[in-house]
Amino acid sequence: MMRLAAIDIGSNAARLLIKEVRPVTEQEVDFVKLSLVRVPLRLGFDVFSYGAISEERMQHLIDTIHAYQLFMKIYQVQDYIACATSAMREASNGKQVIERVNQQTGIQLQIIDGQQEASLIFETHIAEHLNPTKSYLYVDVGGGSTEISLFSKRKLVFNVSFNIGTIRLLHNQINDQQWEELKEFLKKKVKPQNVVVIGSGGNINKIFSMSKVKNGKPLFIDMLKTYYRKLSRMSVAERMHRYQLREDRADVIVPALQIYLNIMRWSGAQQILVPQIGLADGLIYHLYQQIMQTNAQPATAKF
């Protein structure tokens, strides 16, 4: 057994996921979640409005990484991977931020592009265990971008990333042309028969928990439409009170529903499965595969 960690620095929040990896047989491995910590850094608020990460948010990021190091030490994590996505990709000072983090914490963040992000989310391989007669569209909605992968007939058809995210929508930074490009891509690339969406990200996870639908059962598009109409009529404060949401979830949950609904309409999907996975899960799968390819146990990391 080994304990692995993933740090995901997104546009809305930073996450630390720690899992214990337990080989069952040569082909089967259990990945058991030990801890998930989320800090609402909201880097996208700076980047998508001003083009750079402010000194204040940069320091907040460094403090968060220091805290994550303590968590990894407490959990005796043996190896980790750390990545930053859309906001860091676009920040004019993104490389300087990465250098500051490395100098002050020793943690080396990798900035990954949209294609890599989509591939890493797909590495959870959820669809491989589902109905082989259906096609599955992985959709991960973040603050700065949306990653989409199509899995059909047990094969990956495409991985793609669009700069359409909840924080961008919140700040009215998505234009009609961007929506049209996403619409035309889906209508061209996805055949509507037997398509099921696999949704990942904090917003769809929250909608799923609010729905009280049993684990493993899908949400139907009409239910998402109902939540969209209901939540759209509420203020952020009302959403926080009615559903006990954090502010950083209450403001982006409606834009997230808009993105999921548009993708479901344009791909012809009527159902969305919510296995409650995300980029951090994909990162841990990826790290484990790297370790196995070298045929070596990771040495205990020093934090």
Asked whether residue 300 is assigned to any structural domain, the reply reads: no
Answer for the pair 46, 52: CB distance below 8 angstroms, yes or no: yes
What's the pLDDT at 299?
A: 57
Asked whether residue 153 is assigned to any structural domain, the reply reads: yes
In degrees and rounded to multiples of 5, residue 42 shows phi and psi of: 55, 45
Note whether 215 and 270 are same-domain residues: yes
Note whether 69 and 168 are same-domain residues: no
What's the pLDDT at 297?
A: 61
- Per-10-residue mean pLDDT of the chain, 303 residues long, equals 95 96 86 96 95 97 97 96 95 96 96 87 74 90 94 89 96 96 96 88 94 93 97 97 96 98 96 91 92 72 62
SS3 44: helix
Note whether 107 and 131 are same-domain residues: no
Q: How many domains does the chain have?
A: 2
CATH assignment of the domain containing 11: 3.30.420.40
Note whether 228 and 200 are same-domain residues: yes
Query: CB neighbours of 159 closer than 8 A, spacing ≥ 6?
Result: 115, 118, 119, 122, 147, 148, 149
SS3 57: helix
Note whether 268 and 287 are same-domain residues: no
What's the pLDDT at 24?
A: 87
Note whether 256 and 154 are same-domain residues: yes
Note whether 225 and 288 are same-domain residues: no
The backbone region for 121, taken as left when phi is positive above 0, alpha when psi lies in -120 to 50, beta otherwise, is alpha
Note whether 133 and 240 are same-domain residues: yes
Q: How far is CA 71 from CA 37, 101, 240, 263, 287, in A?
A: 9, 17, 29, 37, 18
Reported as type and span, the H/E element at residue 283 is helix 279-293
What's the pLDDT at 218?
A: 94
Note whether 217 and 228 are same-domain residues: yes
CATH assignment of the domain containing 139: 3.30.420.150
Q: Find the domain containing 53 and state its range.
A: 2-113+280-293
Q: How far is CA 207 from CA 27, 121, 253, in A?
A: 33, 20, 8
Note whether 102 and 36 are same-domain residues: yes
In degrees and rounded to multiples of 5, residue 149 shows phi and psi of: -135, 140
pTM, two decimal places: 0.90
Asked whether residue 303 is assigned to any structural domain, the reply reads: no
Asked whether residue 59 is assigned to any structural domain, the reply reads: yes
Note whether 154 and 205 are same-domain residues: yes
Exposure b/e, 239-278, CB count within 10 A at least 16 = b: bbeebebeebbbbbbbbbbbbbbbbbebbbbebbbbbebb
Taken in order 37, 38, 39, 41, the sign of the CA dihedral is positive
Asked whether residue 137 is assigned to any structural domain, the reply reads: yes
Answer for the pair 62, 36: CB distance below 8 angstroms, yes or no: no
Note whether 100 and 151 are same-domain residues: no
